[in-house]
Amino acid sequence: MSNRTYKPRRGRVTPRQAAALDIRDGLLIELGRTTFSLTDEWPGLPVILEIGFGTGAATAVMAGDQPQFGLLAVDVHTPGIGDLLHRIRTIGLTNVRIMEADALEVLRTMIPERSLAGIRTYFPDPWPKARHHKRRLVTAEHASLIGSRTASGGTWDLATDWAPYADQMIDVLSKHPMWEGGAVDRPSDRPVTRYEQTALDQGREVTDLRYFRAIR
């Protein structure tokens, strides 16, 4: 699959991450072929899907600050899955579930139509080379898939440190019939991750965007 939105990275799994990955307590959900009931996981809670959480540093803080949401956090990178599992067990969070999978596959096969209250995509891989732009997560096709699974009025929050990618996001989403919104001030509840701090240290500007699922 040459159009994967992520770089295959091996990454050493530390003993702490391995121990976290070994525990079977239902926090790690397997990729399946059928939709799973988000409302069974968290009766009554609106659900947010985070695509690409890295080490989950921001995910865990935001989930702790926002117990009114269930958070389904999806990434493909095994060490980071171990990190987030460790974080949520240490804090004792009950409103996070994790999947080790391609989030686009999860959206296609497991998320019911119009069921999500929100999507978060913080610092998706920038794919700076022109020949790799087709691998970016924010394309019209993916915006349609994400839009089809998001409830009317639901939000899509994005951040990027790559100015040309911010331009692409705005270009794609401003033309897309399912989405309305644009650039916003940095949300005060989004913590700075190590990834973002490196970008800031290297002098790159961060753009935050917020879109709403159109009511149609």
Ligand X SMILES: C[S@@+](CC[C@H](N)C(=O)[O-])C[C@H]1O[C@@H](n2cnc3c(N)ncnc32)[C@H](O)[C@@H]1O
Those residues with Cβ within 8 angstroms of residue 132's Cβ, 6 or more apart along the chain or in another chain: none
Q: Between residues 177 and 186, which has the closer beta carbon with respect to ligand X? A: 186
Asked if residue 103 binds ligand X (CB under 6 A), the reply is yes
- Which residue out of 40, 65, 125, 161 is catalytically annotated? 125
Contact pick of 64, 78, 172, 195 for ligand X (by CB under 6 A) = 195
Q: Between residues 100 and 180, which has the closer beta carbon with respect to ligand X? A: 100
* Binding region for ligand X (CB under 6 A) out of 14-22, 72-80, 85-93, 143-151: 72-80
Asked if residue 77 binds ligand X (CB under 6 A), the reply is yes
Contact pick of 20, 48, 52, 181 for ligand X (by CB under 6 A) = 52
Active site residue 125: yes
Asked if residue 138 binds ligand X (CB under 6 A), the reply is no
* Binding region for ligand X (CB under 6 A) out of 33-41, 70-78, 85-93, 200-208: 70-78
Asked if residue 118 binds ligand X (CB under 6 A), the reply is no
SS3 readout for the chain: CCCCCCCCCCCCCCHHHHHHHHCCCCCECCCCCCCCCHHHHCCCCCEEEEECCCCCHHHHHHHHHCCCCEEEEEECCHHHHHHHHHHHHHHCCCCEEEEECCHHHHHHHHCCCCCEEEEEEECCCCCCCHHHHHHCCCCHHHHHHHHHCEEEEEEEEEEECCHHHHHHHHHHHHHCCCEEEEEECCCCCCCCCHHHHHHHHCCCCCEEEEEEECCC
Asked if residue 149 binds ligand X (CB under 6 A), the reply is no
Residues annotated as part of the active site = 125
**Binding residues for ligand X, per CB under 6 A?**
5-6, 51-54, 58, 74-77, 80, 102-104, 122-125, 137, 193, 195-196
